[in-house]
Amino acid sequence: MNSSKFLAGRGRERLTPEELILLEDSGSDVQAVEARRTLVRRGEPVCSSMLVIDGFVCRAATDNQMVSLHIPGDFVDLDGFKLKRLDHDVVAIGPVKVTTYSHDALAILSERSRLTEAFWLSSLLDAAIHRAWIFRIGRLEGEARAAHLFCELHARLEMVGLAEDGSFGLPLTQLDLGAALSLTAVHTNRVLRALREQGLLTFRNRQVEIHDRKALAKLGNFDAAYLYASDLNAPSGRPLDG
């Protein structure tokens, strides 16, 4: 598995080919991580950050509240580069592949290129997604809450080519899903059944099939604007030709 495919995620389309090469050369080889492994524990000093290449990685706060869910192309703990420790655990959900970037390497990269801005942008997108999670948990109830999360995941996965026809792999248990939705596993199960019975989506065998994308978005009050997809793919403020 080559990491370069995902280097261009999260607005890094704006980078020049030279910058992308610089970025790729600074990362480690791809490393495999087994499912359920805790990659970073909260509070521990960290000296490197990870780019997800394959699989799903989550960030978990106190009482196992999931606060973030990362897909291939996401840097998981760029926070650690600037803050030197994390305020949450980082856990692989299924089997995962990552590349790591030592903070020393990132520091050198920052000196030599506009990559600092790319990283900042990535952090801003994380923050925007966090805000959507606050809204989801704070204002939507059961079915709508799940619908909103599935819409988000679909949109994000589609941006990196990992969703097709409303269908994508999602190696979460219903307990994991509950941790993200802030619902018990029991209630998550009932919510999934309700969505299935309404013909909106099925989630079985680690595979999501969205049957009615429009209705799902409506139920979940989902507006993808906060993912800034079009902006990121649009030509940047940088002059087009040099």
Partner DNA sequence: CGCGCGCTTGATCAGCATCAATTCGCGTGG
Partner DNA sequence: CCACGCGAATTGATGCTGATCAAGCGCGCG
Applying CB under 8 A, which residues contact its own copies? 43, 59, 61-63, 65, 67-68, 79, 82-85, 87-88, 110, 116-117, 119-121, 123-124, 126-128, 130-135, 137-139, 182, 221, 223, 225-226, 228, 231
Q: Which of residues 16 and 184 has its CB atom nearest to DNA in the complex? A: 184
Of the two residues 62 and 233, which places its CB atom closer to its own copies in the complex? 62
Burial class (CB in 10 A: 0-12, 13-18, 19+), 214: exposed
For DNA, the closer CB: 106 or 146: 146
Helices (H), the chain: 4-7, 17-26, 79-83, 103-112, 115-139, 142-159, 174-181, 185-197, 213-219, 229-233
Say whether residue 134 binds DNA (CB under 7 A).
no
Question: DSSP assignment, residue 1?
Answer: -
The binder of DNA chosen from 28, 48, 102, 182 (CB under 7 A): 182
State the nearest-atom distance from the C-beta of 97 to DNA, in Å: 20
CB of 152 to its own copies, least distance (A): 12
* Of the residues 186, 199, 233, 234, which one makes contact with DNA according to CB under 7 A: 186
Q: Does 145 bind DNA (CB under 7 A)?
A: yes
Under 8 Å between Cβ of 60 and 67: yes
**Measured from the CB of residue 67, what is the shortest distance to its own copies in angstroms?**
4
| 53 phi/psi in degrees, rounded to 5 | -105, -40
172 backbone φψ class: left, alpha, beta (φ>0; ψ -120 to 50)? beta
Verify binding: residue 195, DNA, rule CB under 7 A: no
Of positions 81, 115, 174, 180, contacts DNA by CB under 7 A? 174
Euclidean distance between CA atoms 146 and 193, whole angstroms: 11
Residues forming beta bridges with residue 99, ordered by sequence position: 51
Residue 115: Cβ-neighbour burial (10 angstroms; 0-12, 13-18, 19+):
buried
Sole binder of DNA in the list 42, 97, 187, 211 (CB under 7 A): 187
Q: Which run of H or of E encompasses 57?
A: strand 57-60
Three-state DSSP at 164 gives strand
Contact partner, 187, from DNA, its own copies, none, Cβ < 5-8 Å per class: DNA
CA 229-233-239 angle, 5° bins = 140
Residue 205 or 230: the one with the smaller Cβ distance to its own copies is 230
Q: Which is nearer to its own copies, 66 or 71 (CB)?
A: 66
182 vs 198, beta carbon nearer DNA: 182
Q: Which residues sit at the interface with DNA, rule CB under 7 A?
A: 141-143, 145, 173-175, 182-187, 189-193, 204
